Amino acid sequence: MDWLQLKSGSDVRGTATGEGTVLTDDIAMRLGMAFALWLSEKKGVPVQQITVALGRDSRITGEALLHAAAEGIRKCGASVLDFGMCTTPAMYMSILSPQFHPDGSVMITASHHPWNKNGLKFFSEKGGLEGKDIEHLLREAQSLKPEEFTGQEGSLTREDYLAVYKSQLAERIRTGLKDDSDKPLEGLHAVVDAGNGAGGFYADLLQSLGACTEGSQFLNPDGYFPNHIPNPENADAMKSLRNAVIRSGADLGVIFDADCDRAAIVDADGKEINRNRLIALISAILLDQESGQTIVTDSVTSSGLKTFIENHGGTHYRYKRGYRNVIDEAVLLNQQGISCPLAIETSGHAALRENHFLDDGMYLVTVLIVRAMEMKKAGKTLGSIIADLKEPAESTELRLNILDPDFRAKGNEAIGKVLQYAEHHSDWHVAPDNREGIRISFDIGGQPDAGWFLLRLSVHDPVLPLNAESDVPGGVRDILTRLDSVIGGMEGIEMKSLKEIVGESSAAR
């Protein structure tokens, strides 16, 4: 097997148990070795001076993969800090914590993916490793010969880093509320849904600060995720949280994915606040602190969100899909002198400047909890902050599979055809802030720019993701019918999902 098949963006990921297993203990062991050696080279010190922290979420293969990675790290002479059950953001924060300060860290997780998957996320003091670094680690790991490392093994120490991380979140709540009392959240009722992942401790944190957490659910770690997928974008997961909030009469509910780098919330009336609503909420909070700032998002955000951010005194900067892309762009903008406090993707990955631009779902929720407490005292809810967010009448997301072996060339050909067509048809409005694929808006029913589609090439897969949105009922079909007239006859791209929306009459033209 070519180990590069395990690369998933800036992570390593694959089936870790059962039929089709590709991520084995041996691979984890070798990746541990490769990472320790990589850190040694980057820092210019002997590997015996390197310390790596390890953590895992609740997946059934997590403990074995962690132990295997620890074995590899120790085998080449480096030392290990074993944090056990932890969160992905906490693993990076440990590098910045003076009492621990490892040279690097590894989180064993596959985020929201099914229970039989697992993976490894790597961090140095500069943040998460990039895709090219992951490729290097995989190549090096595959070529290593562990039997040749016969020197003295490094040490292994078990530590409870979550206690430190919890204290940091508690301090953010007290600082945000300007309240040094033992119970700054007294009077707030928050339901926590950890999806049986690693985030169940957040309910204990809120309760220790005075909040009522009655109605919280699925707090105990269970790597089979028996109740619902731990995914803030999943409809069943959000419905489960919504029901829990309404049933318990809570002020809000919060939900995390398995490793807690993504999150969403539900308002007191059961309204889901994820995707565009979540971006609008945190943007409004930050812009209320300082107007004129720039908010970086991924490319598929709604037209209503752009208007919302501008009405709240900010600038909306759409960028490429992929949480590393939006984070890196936000960092670059700040370096250029453009004040940008937030990089956020519609998936729920949110990175705040005040938190080292680390995509930390739990930190995001903590900021929202502070505002929820303030709103509670004023007799209002979080949802009232985004009452003026205009939402589309219709929206859809399709994935057009590219069948051509050279999928990037074929995908770019389709995007090029659309752009060329738009340049010669004045009723096709190319977005001025088009930074990924091609985004076109249309006038519908006499309303200017009342709908749009975005066609782009997936970062990793042979797929053309297609998003469409309309402020007018029936507009999505109209928009996609126009698109179908341009690319619907292309060979090498599976158009079935597009044809199903536009209908056979369009397909037959």
Please write the tens of the pLDDT for every residue from 278-298.
999 999 999 999 999 999 999
Fold of 3-159: Alpha-D-Glucose-1,6-Bisphosphate; Chain A, domain 3 (3.40.120)
Is the pLDDT at 507 greater than 50? The verdict is no
Digit-coded pLDDT (tens) for 241-270: 999 999 999 999 999 999 999 999 999 999
Is the pLDDT at 508 greater than 50? The verdict is no
pLDDT at 340: 98
CA 267 to each of CA 244, 387, 389: distance values in angstroms, whole numbers, following the listed order: 11, 12, 15
Closest CA to 259 of 52, 59, 100, 109: 109
**What mean pLDDT value characterizes the chain?**
95
Name the strands in the sheet holding 394-401, side by side, starting at the edge strand that comes first in the sequence. 394-401, 463-470, 447-455, 438-444, 429-430
Digit-coded pLDDT (tens) for 116-142: 999 999 999 999 999 999 999 999 999
Fold of 394-507: TATA-Binding Protein (3.30.310)
Same-fold call for 3-159 versus 164-386? yes
pLDDT at 505: 40
Share of the chain above pLDDT 70, in %: 99
Digit-coded pLDDT (tens) for 375-387: 999 999 999 999 9
Question: Cβ distance 367 to 341 under 8 Å?
Answer: no
Question: Cβ distance 487 to 402 under 8 Å?
Answer: no
Q: 103 exposed, middle or buried (CB, 10 Å; 0-12, 13-18, 19+)?
A: buried
pLDDT band at 460 (very low <50, low <70, confident <90, very high): confident
The rounded distance, in Å, linking the Cα atoms of 111 and 10 is 13
Question: Cβ distance 350 to 341 under 8 Å?
Answer: no
Q: Tell me the domain boundaries of the chain.
A: 3-159, 164-386, 394-507
The predicted model gives 100-125 an average pLDDT of 96
Residue with tokens 């490094």, as numbered in its chain: 154
pLDDT band at 461 (very low <50, low <70, confident <90, very high): confident
The predicted model gives 321-346 an average pLDDT of 95
pLDDT band at 506 (very low <50, low <70, confident <90, very high): very low
pLDDT at 26: 97
Digit-coded pLDDT (tens) for 405-448: 999 999 999 999 999 999 999 999 999 988 999 999 999 999 99
The predicted model gives 313-322 an average pLDDT of 95
Digit-coded pLDDT (tens) for 194-218: 999 999 999 999 999 999 999 999 9
Superfamily of domain 164-386: Alpha-D-Glucose-1,6-Bisphosphate, subunit A, domain 3 (3.40.120.10)
Provide the 10 A C-beta neighbour count for residue 171.
12
pTM, rounded to two decimals:
0.93
DSSP for 340-391? --EEE-TTSBEEEGGGTTEE-HHHHHHHHHHHHHHHHHTT--GGGGGTT---
CA 145 to each of CA 68, 69, 72, 465: distance values in angstroms, whole numbers, following the listed order: 15, 15, 11, 41
The predicted model gives 361-376 an average pLDDT of 98
